[in-house]
């Protein structure tokens, strides 16, 4: 049940124990949420409670603890189904994160669909986890990886795909479209629904990397119309080592397994193996059961709040931070799309992002520096890396101002 009160930032912050920590004697200001979000106390308790009170394997025993573990894991699956509006709980596949989900998708779809000369279309802003698995699949099957270029503002340039006519985004041999919903580096919210609709008209399978979208946007996989949608738990207030691949039932039934072992089988003989029904066909081995407990609790926690109010709060932080950052001499924001989540990447003339990040850390400010697993995107903008501040529902204007003050102090030291 959603909390109907006004957005109470102090009430929300009180639920995150790590926010009381000091870093180098200064109050922690955590602006690295695009890398991993912090966890509310009830998520931490849920994971701990599994080990303390249940700790049994799922689906493999008739004893009481195993039954409790199984029921709780499947309750988490149903929570996530509801949250993303999947038709069926068995369309929710548990993985170890977005990277595992994308590797599953690339391996299995490659086996199912790709042959020599076929094409996979991605974009120039993709995380390495949505580049390398498709490169591997293309190498295995003799397919070709094509890339949607990126504009100077950090948006798709759909009219400039190499080898394509301006009025045709897809080629005759395009079999798979794999795109990010939100850029982890630029914060750009991509018009995935519109592109998916065009792809569907041509029978192209669509895969969406939702790692950066899941905590900030309302995700409705049926409304989006995608075939597969991947995300991690740890970027949505849940545990590390947890993730999901949503898949349309009909497609998942066609896709071959990508890992073999226990749980994903029906009958095994030395001559042949038949596979379990969904979702277990894709869940070989013992899962991260405690993490799934925490993952389900993270989604229930998010559902207790108005996600639109959370998004509005984060957008306020984004606007304020953007205004204050641009007042710093020599600072340039990389990624100025009209539609963004609370992510800002920037460079400052004459200052290395690593040096800036180090000095900010000395003042208690946690930001990310580097290429953010988007090296081709860095090359597109002609930089080796950026400093990235990324906001969550628990961050405040006061923290943004603390970062700005710390940056001004750091810039003076570095120039």
pLDDT tens sequence across 218-273: 999 999 999 999 999 999 999 999 999 999 999 999 999 999 988 888 888 898 88
Tokens 């984004």 appear where? 318
Asked if pLDDT for residue 164 goes beyond 70, the answer is: no
Determine whether 373 is an active site residue.
Answer: yes
Across 15-36, average pLDDT: 98
Region 120-136 average pLDDT: 98
pLDDT band, residue 4 (cuts 50/70/90): very low
Q: Are 414 and 55 in contact (CB under 8 A)?
A: no
Using alpha carbons only, give the angle 134, 139, 143 rounded to the nearest 5 degrees.
Answer: 75
In words, the CATH class of domain 9-30+306-414 is alpha beta
User: Given this structure, which CATH class describes domain 46-303?
Assistant: alpha beta
Give pLDDT, residue 262.
82
Average pLDDT of the chain to the nearest whole number: 95
pLDDT band, residue 1 (cuts 50/70/90)? very low
Cα-trace Rg, the chain: 22
pLDDT of residue 239: 98
Quick one: which of 143, 126, 141 has its CA closest to 178? 126
For the stretch 40-52, pLDDT in tens is: 999 999 999 999 9
**Angle subtended by helix axes 289-303 and 64-84, to nearest 10:** 40
Is pLDDT at 344 greater than 60 in this prediction?
yes
Strands 365-366 and 29-30, by their bridges, are parallel
Strands (E), 273-395: 273-275, 331-334, 343-348, 365-366, 368-370, 386-390
Rounded to 5 degrees, what angle do the CA atoms 38, 39, 43 make? 170
Residue corresponding to tokens 């959370």: 310
Please give the pLDDT value at position 165.
56
Q: What is the pLDDT of residue 60?
A: 74
Distance CA(287)–CA(280), nearest Å, equals 11
Domain residue limits, the chain: 9-30+306-414, 46-303
Q: What is the pLDDT of residue 3?
A: 47
Bridge partner list, 387:
346, 369
Same fold, 9-30+306-414 and 46-303: no
């Amino acid at each position: 049940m959603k909390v109907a009160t006004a957005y109470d930032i102090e009430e929300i912050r009180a639920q995150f124990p790590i926010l009381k920590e000091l870093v180098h004697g200064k109050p922690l200001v955590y602006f690295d949420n695009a890398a991993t979000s912090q966890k509310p106390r009830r998520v931490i308790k849920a994971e701990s409670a599994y080990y303390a009170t249940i700790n049994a394997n799922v689906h493999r025993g008739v004893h009481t603890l195993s039954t409790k573990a199984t029921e709780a894991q499947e309750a988490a699956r149903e929570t996530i189904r509801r949250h993303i509006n999947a038709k069926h709980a068995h369309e929710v596949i548990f993985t170890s994160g977005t990277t595992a989900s994308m590797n599953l998708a690339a391996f299995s779809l490659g086996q199912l669909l790709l042959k020599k000369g076929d094409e996979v279309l991605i974009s120039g802003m993709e995380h390495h986890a949505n580049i390398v698995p498709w490169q591997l699949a293309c190498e295995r099957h003799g397919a070709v990886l094509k890339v949607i270029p990126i504009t100077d503002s950090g948006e798709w340039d759909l009219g400039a795909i190499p080898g394509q006519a301006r009025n045709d985004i897809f080629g005759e041999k395009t079999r798979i479209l794999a795109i990010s919903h939100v850029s982890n580096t630029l914060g750009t919210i991509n018009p995935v629904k519109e592109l998916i609709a065009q792809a569907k008209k041509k029978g192209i399978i669509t895969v969406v990397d939702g790692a950066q979208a899941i905590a900030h946007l309302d995700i409705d996989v049926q409304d989006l119309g995608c075939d597969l949608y991947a995300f991690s738990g740890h970027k949505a207030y849940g545990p590390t080592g947890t993730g999901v691949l949503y898949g349309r039932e009909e497609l998942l039934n066609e896709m071959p397994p990508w890992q073999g072992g226990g749980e994903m089988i029906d009958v095994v003989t030395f001559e042949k193996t038949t596979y379990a029904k969904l979702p277990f066909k894709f869940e070989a081995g013992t899962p991260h059961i405690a993490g799934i407990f925490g993952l389900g609790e993270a989604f229930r926690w998010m559902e207790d709040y108005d996600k639109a109010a959370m998004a509005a709060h984060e957008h306020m932080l984004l606007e304020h931070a953007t205004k204050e950052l641009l007042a710093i001499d020599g600072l340039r924001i990389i990624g100025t799309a009209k539609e963004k989540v609370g992510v800002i990447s920037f460079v400052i003339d004459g200052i290395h992002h690593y040096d800036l990040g180090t000095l900010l850390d000395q003042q208690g400010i946690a930001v990310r520096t580097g290429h953010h697993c988007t090296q081709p995107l860095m090359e597109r903008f002609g930089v080796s890396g950026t400093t990235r501040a990324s906001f969550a529902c628990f961050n405040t204007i006061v923290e943004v101002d603390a970062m700005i003050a710390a940056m001004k102090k750091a810039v003076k030291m570095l120039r």
